[in-house]
């Protein structure tokens, strides 16, 4: 009889998983218990499970109650970005119901509500203004966590901010109107006085000429105030073209001659490389230089000296506001007086509209200067100390065609 070799020795038994082993172990542990012991053990496990379920239900109720009382809209999502929780405020702010959101992609819900991607601030949605952001970004993956999106109703805050801004505008407007009325009323009163004197039986021609000159002076002052106001309130469209610097300076001195004579000051010129052309908007630049000259005259003592000087300097094109200008040099025009100087704390505000420490000043002159220099992509620098006079320099970049 032929013998066959057994193959059972080559077979291997697959190892059981840990879960199956653990289950069998638990079964073996319970298998030796008597029926009444097994029943008691099951009852204890059931009570423990019921207690945990009640605890979870209580926490769930507290969670829902807390979300319901929040003044914030809260939308929670799972790791796949689908909505799993929505509080009442979120329903109110989004203008939709929980049923239309639960289980749906938050991206689709957001799109359907017509809201932009978060974060956003003070976006109008219906009759409200909303701010939205993600408190926790959902992490996609088997170990990912959900996300929380917050919506905040900022309608009241936005309304109050608008009201405050409006009140500030009205306050500034009231201050401006008061200043304008004062600056116009005084010259008009002077004109009325001089005109009434001319209407009397004055026979002296010299006195008549004096009154006529006074009227002309007041009219020029009034015209200067109105010119500054117009420049302050309109959008300027500059017209740049090359102009001889000495021509500009001479014209400005003539425009300010009445104030120069009244104050008995002298004006000297130190214009280097003149009459080299500079590329500016001529009327605007003359107005800026005239404002500086008049300020210097008003700050000077009687028989004081004012110097208008110029120099060409290389500039750093990386300076803020010069990007793309391609300017490599600038004309610097300075106006220096030997007056009382400016306090350091006032230098920080001297270019603000309507700020003036001079009696009867409008506070518009230097504000207009800075505005005109902005149009020229230039800037203004001030050097001053109490009792040592003031120097204000206009930096005018030169890189345009024809300069």
Q: Are residues 332 and 277 in the same domain?
A: yes
- 165: in domain: no
pLDDT at 45 (0 to 100):
80
Read off the pLDDT band of 289 (50, 70, 90). very high
pLDDT band at 7, cuts 50/70/90?
very low
Structural domain total, the chain: 3
- From 231, 252, 277, the end of a domain falls on 231
Reported confidence tier of residue 144, pLDDT bands at 50, 70, 90: low
| Residue that wins the pLDDT comparison between 349 and 152 | 152
Sign of CA dihedral 277, 280, 286, 291: negative
Residue bearing the bigger pLDDT, 394 or 36: 394
Residues 69 and 99 in one domain: yes
- Return the minimum-mean-pLDDT range out of 152-156, 165-169, 216-220, 340-344: 216-220
Does residue 102 lie in a domain region?
yes
Which range, 233-242, 265-274, 305-314, is most confident? Answer: 305-314
Q: Are residues 314 and 362 in the same domain?
A: yes
Domain of 381, CATH number, reads 3.30.565.10
| Lowest pLDDT segment from 46-50, 102-106, 228-232 | 228-232
Of 95, 120, 153, at which residue does a domain stop? 153
Residue 112 makes CB contacts below 8 A (sequence gap 6+) with 96
- Among 167-171, 221-225, 297-301, 360-364, the range of highest mean pLDDT: 297-301
Q: Given this model, what pLDDT does residue 22 score? A: 47
Q: Residue 266: its pLDDT value, please?
A: 92
In whole numbers, what is the pLDDT of the chain averaged over residues?
A: 77
CA–CA distance, 276 with 403 (Å, rounded to integer)? 9
Percent of the chain with pLDDT over 90: 16
| Percent of the chain residues topping a pLDDT of 70 | 72
Task: Answer whether residue 18 is part of any domain.
Answer: no
Residue 137 lies in a domain: yes
Do both 87 and 134 map to the same domain? yes
CATH number at residue 96: 3.30.450.20
Q: Do 210 and 271 fall into the same domain?
A: no
Q: Which residues of 302-338 are buried (b: 16+ CB within 10 A; e: fewer)?
A: eebebbbbbeeeebeeeeeebeebebeebbbbbbbbb
Shared-domain flag, residues 286 and 379: yes
Query: Which of residues 176 and 89 earns the better pLDDT score?
Result: 89
Give the pLDDT confidence score for residue 142 in this predicted structure.
Answer: 57
Stretch 12-21: mean pLDDT, rounded?
43
Q: Which of 134, 124, 97, 127 is nearest to 112 (CA)?
A: 97
Q: Is residue 112 a part of any domain in this protein?
A: yes
Backbone φ, ψ for residue 154 (5° rounding): -110, 25
- Out of 123-137, 205-219, 368-382, which region has the weakest mean confidence (pLDDT)? 205-219
Residues 245 and 393 in one domain: yes
Kindly report the CATH number assigned to the domain that includes residue 210: 1.10.287
Residues 243 and 135 reside in one and the same domain: no
357: nearest Cα among 398, 298, 305: 298
Q: Is residue 310 part of a domain?
A: yes
- Which of 121, 153, 185 marks a domain boundary? 153
Q: Do 267 and 388 share a domain, yes or no?
A: yes
225, 241: one domain: no
Largest CA distance in the chain: 168
In a domain, 124, yes or no: yes
* CB of 187 closer than 8 Å to CB of 221: yes
Beta carbons within 10 angstroms of residue 3's beta carbon: 5
Is 335 or 181 the better-scoring residue by pLDDT? 335
Residue 61 buriedness (CB in 10 A; 0-12 / 13-18 / 19+): exposed
pLDDT at 5 over 50: no
Residue 320 pLDDT > 60: no
Check whether residue 207 and residue 297 sit in a common domain.
no
pLDDT in tens, 242-264: 999 988 998 888 888 878 888 88
- pLDDT tens, 186-217? 667 777 777 777 777 666 777 777 777 777 77
Band (182; pLDDT cuts 50, 70, 90): low
Give 310's pLDDT tier (boundaries 50, 70, 90): very high
pLDDT at residue number 390: 92
Whether residues 224 and 190 fall in one domain: yes
**Pairwise pLDDT comparison (323 vs 344), residue with the higher score:** 344
Does 354 map to a domain? yes
Rounded to whole angstroms, what are the CA distances from 299 to 134, 224, 229, 292, 387?
A: 58, 18, 22, 10, 11
Domain interval for residue 99? 62-153
């Amino acid at each position: 009889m032929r013998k066959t070799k057994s193959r059972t020795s080559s077979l291997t038994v697959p190892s059981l998983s840990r879960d199956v082993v653990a289950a069998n172990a638990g079964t073996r542990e319970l298998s030796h218990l008597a029926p009444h012991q097994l029943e008691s053990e099951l009852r204890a496990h059931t009570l423990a499970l019921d207690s945990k379920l009640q605890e979870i239900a209580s926490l769930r109720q507290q969670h829902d109650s807390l979300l319901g009382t929040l003044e914030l809209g809260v939308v929670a999502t799972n790791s796949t970005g689908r909505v799993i929780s929505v509080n009442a405020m979120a329903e109110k702010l989004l203008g939709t119901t929980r049923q239309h959101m639960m289980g749906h992609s938050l991206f689709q819900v957001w799109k359907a509500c017509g809201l932009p991607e978060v974060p956003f601030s003070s976006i109008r949605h219906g009759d409200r203004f909303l701010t939205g952001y993600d408190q926790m970004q959902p992490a996609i993956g088997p170990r990912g966590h959900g996300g929380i999106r917050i919506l905040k109703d900022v309608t009241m805050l936005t309304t109050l901010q608008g009201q405050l801004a409006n009140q500030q505008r009205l306050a500034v407007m009231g201050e401006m109107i008061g200043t304008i009325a004062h600056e116009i009323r005084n010259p008009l009163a002077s004109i009325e006085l001089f005109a009434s004197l001319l209407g009397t039986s004055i026979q002296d021609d010299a006195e008549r000429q004096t009154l006529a000159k006074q009227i002309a002076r007041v009219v020029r002052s009034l015209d200067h105030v109105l010119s500054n106001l117009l420049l302050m309130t309109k959008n300027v469209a500059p017209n740049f073209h090359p102009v001889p610097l000495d021509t500009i300076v001479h014209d400005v001195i003539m425009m300010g001659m009445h104030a120069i004579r009244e104050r008995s000051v002298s004006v000297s010129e130190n214009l280097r490389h003149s009459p080299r052309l500079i590329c500016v908007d001529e009327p605007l630049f003359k107005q800026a230089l005239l404002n500086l000259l008049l300020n210097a005259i008003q700050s000077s003592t009687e028989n004081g000296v004012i110097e208008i000087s110029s120099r060409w300097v290389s500039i750093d094109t990386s300076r803020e506001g010069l990007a793309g200008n391609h300017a490599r040099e600038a004309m610097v025009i300075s106006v220096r007086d030997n007056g009382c100087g400016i306090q350091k704390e006032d230098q920080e505000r001297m270019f603000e509209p309507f700020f003036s420490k001079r009696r009867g000043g409008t506070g518009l002159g230097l504000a207009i200067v800075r505005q005109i220099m902005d149009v020229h992509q230039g800037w203004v620098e001030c050097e001053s100390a109490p009792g040592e006079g003031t120097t204000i320099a206009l930096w005018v970049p030169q890189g345009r065609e024809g300069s």
